[in-house]
Amino acid sequence: MARPLQFDRQQALDSAMQVFWLHGYYSSSLQQLLDAMQINRGSLYAAFGDKAGLFTEVLNNYQCSMQVVVIELLGNQENPAKGIRDVFEFTVFSLPKDALAMGCLLVNTVNELSPMNSELTAQASEKLMLVEQAFIDACRRAQTLKQMNKMVSAEEAGRMLMNSMIGLRVQCRRGAAKSHLRQSVSPLLNMLMPN
């Protein structure tokens, strides 16, 4: 009979997420992960299988803790244009500098692992596609409510916003100033959703 796990799984995942987020998948050593999670090697293998299994759960945890908020903001039914602007405020402009410098775990993963690890890259890409679809749906609602012009289709607008978001998150990792980040996205938002 297997022994029950002797650690808090959610706390361990949160700790592992910080290590992966800061160092990336390949640069996060097993010992760094074990130290952060405060577990031993046997517990990691029993609970997660291996490093890739742990990382898969970390990506799912990230989706539940961060990405769900973004999708919820984009789901603003009454004022989708505000929801779109709120996503940029939440994910870029309101974050403290140290959190901003970490970028987005999903974007970081795709940048680091593609094409070296197609399975983990595909998992991160799939989660990013959910955000892109939420942008497209928000644009469609905004156009229906006449909060967004129709110079481009909802699909094109959603993809432009997603590309802008990904670019901003990469710029965050580079240490770009918030004022420069805002200057790079404000024209796009104002073009799509003139006040």
pLDDT for 93: 85
Tokens encoding 70? 């973004």
Say if 33 falls within a structural domain.
no
Q: Is the dihedral of CA 107, 109, 115, 117 positive or negative?
A: negative
Say if 30 falls within a structural domain.
no
In the structure, how many helices (H) and strands (E) does the chain have?
11, 0
pLDDT for 87: 95
Say if 122 falls within a structural domain.
yes
Residue 99 structural domain? 62-192
Say if 111 falls within a structural domain.
yes
pLDDT for 40: 92
Q: Give which of 129, 8, 107, 119 is closest to 55, Cα–Cα.
A: 119
pLDDT for 5: 58
Say if 55 falls within a structural domain.
no
pLDDT for 2: 47
Domain CATH code at residue 105:
1.10.357.10
pLDDT for 65: 83
Answer whether 0.75 is exceeded by the pTM: yes
Say if 4 falls within a structural domain.
no
Residues of the chain with pLDDT under 70: 1-5
Domain count, the chain: 1
Say if 115 falls within a structural domain.
yes
